[in-house]
Amino acid sequence: MKLRTVLGAAVGTVGAAVLGNRLLAKRAGELENPLVGVERTYRWRGIETKYTVAGDPNDPDMILCHGIHAGASSREFEPIVERLAEEYHVIAVDLPGFGRSNRPPLIYSSTLYAEFIRDFAADVADEPIVVASSLTGSFAAEAAQESEFDQLVLICPTDETTDERPWVRTLVRTPIVGSTLFNLLATKPGIRYFYDRDGYYDSDRIDDAEIEYAWRSAHQPGARYAPASFSSGTLDPEFDLATELAALETPTTLVWGRDAELVPLREGRDLADAADLELVVVDYATQLPHAEHPDKFVEYLSAELPHADIDLE
């Protein structure tokens, strides 16, 4: 009887977990495109990825590559896309495994993302300015070695997120236990805590719509696979970022929030010194200076980078 009771309880627990996971996915629904512009599809190695274009195609191309976290997507750049489109042909992409792009059960790696950025840029843009955030900055730096980028703008880039723990990736990828654990972590309070702790200097600037979209993004089919690699440290590149940047011929600028803690400003200063790069520091900002202070960020890009001629007559 005891064994039967235990087995019954286990089956009930598994059934409840499966039902809960399905209900969350149903509540999340299909993601809409959060950006102004026209959405297009880029097929890469059998993966359908979504990207949005805005602005005049005759203006300089600018590709926006979002950072990596459970609810990541191109919505990170929503505060600046429309402004940038006044001077650039903006191309904001959802990386494979995130946003509105497909999320197949791959073993995601830094090399995979670097090769995607390289191929995507070559196929949809002409010598683009590439703006990349956080860990994706490392992917973009690697891609630049084999690409014709006009400029790189890296926002709080890093090459190290956590100690490598492959067992975490294996656990999160499991069908029932992994889905349940991921859903417990990717709650709205959890996402808000991430933005409050690491994304924004002023928590009052965190938009409820941003939290809602990130939560829905984190509950799309296959949403746990790419974050599984991220949370296990297996998305970190094998190279040293300072060495990689120093070897680049592509003009590169670093942008940092002065009060960043996850990737502190001192690391930005070390990178800038080691690779002899320009470092732009945004006051009252942490990891997402472009989202928290969009006007300042766009003002910098407009002043320092190639852009369209504006007829003031």
pLDDT single digits (tens) 246-274? 999 999 999 999 999 999 999 999 999 99
User: What is the tally of helices (H) and strands (E) in the chain?
Assistant: 13, 8
Please give the model's pTM, rounded to 2 decimal places.
0.90
Task: Please give the share of the chain, as a percent, with pLDDT higher than 90.
Answer: 85
Phi, psi of 280 (to 5 degrees): -105, 125
Give the side-chain half-sphere CA count within 13 A for 123. 13
Q: Indicate the domain borders of the chain.
A: 31-304
Q: What is the DSSP string of 158-176?
A: -S--S---HHHHHHHHSTT
Condensed to tens digits (0 to 9), the pLDDT of residues 215-243 reads: 999 999 999 999 999 999 999 999 999 99
Q: Per CATH, which fold does 31-304 belong to?
A: Rossmann fold (3.40.50)
Condensed to tens digits (0 to 9), the pLDDT of residues 56-89 reads: 999 999 999 999 999 999 999 999 999 999 999 9
Q: How far apart are CA 147 and CA 310, in angstroms?
A: 29
Lowest mean pLDDT among 8-17, 37-46, 50-59, 82-91: 8-17
Give the side-chain half-sphere CA count within 13 A for 108. 30
Give the side-chain half-sphere CA count within 13 A for 106. 18
pLDDT of residue 161: 92
Residues 6+ apart with CB under 8 A from 201: 257, 259, 284, 285, 286, 292
Q: How far apart are CA 229 and CA 10, in angstroms?
A: 28
CA distances from 2 to 7, 9, 12, 226, 304 (A): 9, 10, 15, 40, 72
Condensed to tens digits (0 to 9), the pLDDT of residues 97-129 reads: 999 999 999 999 999 999 999 999 999 999 999
pLDDT of residue 26: 55
Residues 6+ apart with CB under 8 A from 115: 143
In 3-state terms, the chain is what percent helix, strand and coil (to 5)? 45, 15, 40
**What tokens does 12 get?**
């009930």
What count of residues does the chain have?
313
**What tokens does 196 get?**
């409050």
Three-state secondary-structure class, residue 144: helix
